[in-house]
Amino acid sequence: MNLVYDIMAAGYSGEMRHAQAVMKELGIEYTLSVSQAASDCWWFFCCKNTPETLPRFLTVLDAKPRNLIGFGLNSKMVDLIEGAE
């Protein structure tokens, strides 16, 4: 499962910690995280130990990683993600 952490939604929810710190506290493990400054979010790939109910600032990333090359990912990152799935 790949997740999007919405920084603005987290802030409106009162969450001011770094996205990676929040993921750690939630117990979510991931293979790769990528900051998306233009859209105020983080992408987390190959998430494990994901709780059944996610906070409102965490949503599932529907796009396939290979389709995101040039939009924050490169081919080496995609190879890492696909190798971990």
With a cut of 90, say whether residue 72 has pLDDT above it.
yes
Q: Tens digits of per-residue pLDDT, 18-61?
A: 999 999 999 999 999 999 999 999 999 999 999 999 999 999 99
What pLDDT is attached to residue 32?
97
With a cut of 90, say whether residue 85 has pLDDT above it.
no
DSSP per-residue codes, 28-66: -B-SEEEEEGGGTEEEEES-BS--SS--TTEEE--S-GG
CA distance 51 to 6: 17
